């Protein structure tokens, strides 16, 4: 297994230009006033930004002679599409973005009947060093700004509205922080992003709290902070092992905050919010899929306000890691359910398009030398309530 150090403090690199989405409404109005424009122009710019409008010519409610100056000052282009890849008959689209400094990040837009979810990145790379994760093996390049994170969701909402995803025009309904990076290691900017996602238009995307999921490998102090701040978004904990011995290897942050401490923090979040938390568990052949580990996990979670989301690993070519075979998956599910733990299996998507976060960025690492090649990867995040194991065919 590749052993990389844990990195909590992001490398010091130049942050992107100031953007409207990085500012409070009052700060944005003040910035507009400094340009000699009425403060309400900030509200107009916000309306355009959250609708995905980037062309000044389309900002017809703003005087033509002021559009370009306002765009340059408050709506600079932060995300440039390197390429899109599509799968699932056009219902899944993965986007590789280049940032202002050449760093690469990814987002995935996934559509199901009646809903659409975007998985967004919060960091370029990741400092959590999980050995089976493509992003974790790249190391941490830097934190993203709030505007860079929000921009991924705004682009997805605009793509849905424009009918760019198979199925015609629609609405973005869900956002999951399960892309590149550890969201709670970039807490302040993720928190600002949550505000933008949940704030009604024209100053945000107007999503419901139940429609937003924040994932973490187990940064206990940050989970407690999220609990204290009173948000009711869904918390997802990437556990991947029920015992400290194995989790110390699979999820190195466990050497700082162990399984018991992570579950205690998640339980406190559930008590405060009344919301069930999700336990993400990547099933890896002959590593963490043994029946006794299913029993350990069932004992750990029995009686708790928790749900287990099992993830058949999405391996990369040449990787030493592989997904658990279907019989092992079924045995794992059966043992968890016998313990009274709600359990489903994630519907993995995009396996034919480097579906795991970090794979596209690694493939383009020639143009971004700071990003190393991965050794393996996690699958695409969930969009719909996961498929019940046994409902699918064996093939």
Question: Is residue 357 annotated as a catalytic residue, yes or no?
Answer: yes
Q: What is the C-alpha to C-alpha distance for residues 369 and 218, in angstroms, rounded to an integer?
A: 29
Question: Is residue 228 annotated as a catalytic residue, yes or no?
Answer: no
Task: Report CA 328 to chain centroid distance, whole Å.
Answer: 28
Q: Which of 240, 212, 205 has the alpha carbon at shortest distance from 226?
A: 212
Q: What is the C-alpha to C-alpha distance for residues 381 and 370, in angstroms, rounded to an integer?
A: 25
What contacts 102, CB < 8 A, 6 or more positions away? 367, 368, 370
Sheet with 306-312, edge to edge strand ranges: 80-87, 92-98, 104-112, 115-119, 174-177, 212-216, 234-238, 277-283, 306-312, 342-345
Q: What is the C-alpha to C-alpha distance for residues 316 and 350, in angstroms, rounded to an integer?
A: 12
What contacts 309, CB < 8 A, 6 or more positions away? 236, 278, 279, 280, 281, 344, 345, 346, 382, 386
Q: Is 119 annotated as a binding residue?
A: no
Q: What is the C-alpha to C-alpha distance for residues 204 and 53, in angstroms, rounded to an integer?
A: 14
Give the SS3 label for residue 114.
Answer: coil
Q: Is 208 annotated as a binding residue?
A: no
Give the bridge partners for 234, in sequence order: 213
Which DSSP category does 6 fall into? -
- Catalytic pick from 26, 34, 106, 261? 106
What contacts 327, CB < 8 A, 6 or more positions away? none
Q: How far is CA 312 from CA 149, 378, 380, in A?
A: 27, 9, 10
Q: What is the C-alpha to C-alpha distance for residues 341 and 182, in angstroms, rounded to an integer?
A: 26
- Catalytic pick from 119, 148, 280, 357? 357
Q: Is 238 annotated as a binding residue?
A: yes
Q: Is 181 annotated as a binding residue?
A: yes
Q: What is the C-alpha to C-alpha distance for residues 69 and 146, in angstroms, rounded to an integer?
A: 22
Residue ranges of the annotated binding site are 126, 130, 133, 181-182, 215, 238-240, 314
Residue ranges of the annotated binding site for S-adenosyl-L-methionine are 181-182, 215, 238-240, 314
Residue ranges of the annotated binding site for [4Fe-4S] cluster are 126, 130, 133
Cite the active site residues.
106, 357
């Amino acid at each position: 297994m590749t052993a990389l150090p844990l990195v909590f403090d992001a490398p010091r690199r130049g942050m992107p230009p100031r953007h409207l989405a990085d500012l409070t409404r009052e700060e944005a109005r003040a910035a507009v006033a400094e340009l000699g424009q009425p403060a309400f122009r900030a509200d107009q710019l916000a309306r355009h930004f959250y609708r995905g409008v980037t062309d000044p010519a389309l900002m017809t409610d703003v005087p033509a002679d002021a559009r370009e100056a306002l765009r340059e000052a408050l709506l600079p282009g932060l995300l440039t599409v390197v390429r899109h890849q599509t799968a699932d008959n056009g219902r899944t689209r993965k986007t590789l973005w280049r940032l202002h400094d050449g760093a690469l990040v990814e987002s995935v837009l996934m559509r199901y009947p009646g809903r659409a979810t975007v998985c967004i990145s919060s960091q370029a790379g990741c400092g959590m060093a999980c050995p089976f994760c493509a992003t974790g093996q790249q190391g941490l390049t830097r934190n993203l700004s709030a505007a860079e994170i929000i921009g991924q969701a705004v682009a997805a909402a605009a793509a849905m509205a424009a009918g760019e995803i198979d199925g015609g025009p629609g609405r973005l309904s869900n956002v999951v922080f399960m892309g590149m990076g550890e969201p709670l290691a970039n807490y302040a900017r993720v928190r600002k992003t949550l505000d933008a996602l949940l704030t009604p238009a024209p100053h945000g995307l107007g999503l419901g709290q139940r429609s937003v999921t924040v994932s973490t490998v187990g940064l206990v102090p940050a989970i407690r902070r999220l609990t204290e701040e009173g948000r009711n978004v869904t918390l997802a904990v990437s556990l991947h092992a029920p015992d400290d011995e194995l989790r110390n290897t699979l999820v190195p942050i466990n050497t700082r905050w162990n399984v018991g401490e992570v579950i205690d923090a998640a339980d406190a979040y559930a008590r405060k919010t009344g919301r069930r938390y999700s336990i993400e568990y990547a099933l890896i052949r002959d590593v963490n899929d043994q029946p006794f580990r299913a029993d350990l996990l069932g004992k750990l979670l029995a009686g708790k306000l928790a749900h287990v989301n099992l993830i058949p690993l999405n391996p990369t070519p040449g990787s030493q890691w592989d997904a658990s075979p279907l019989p092992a998956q079924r045995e794992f599910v059966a043992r968890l359910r016998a313990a009274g733990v709600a359990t489903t299996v994630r519907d993995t998507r995009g396996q034919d398009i480097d579906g795991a976060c970090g794979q596209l960025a690694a493939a383009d690492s020639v143009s971004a030398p700071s990003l190393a090649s991965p050794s393996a990867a996690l699958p695409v995040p969930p969009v719909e309530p996961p498929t019940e194991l046994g409902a699918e065919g064996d093939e």
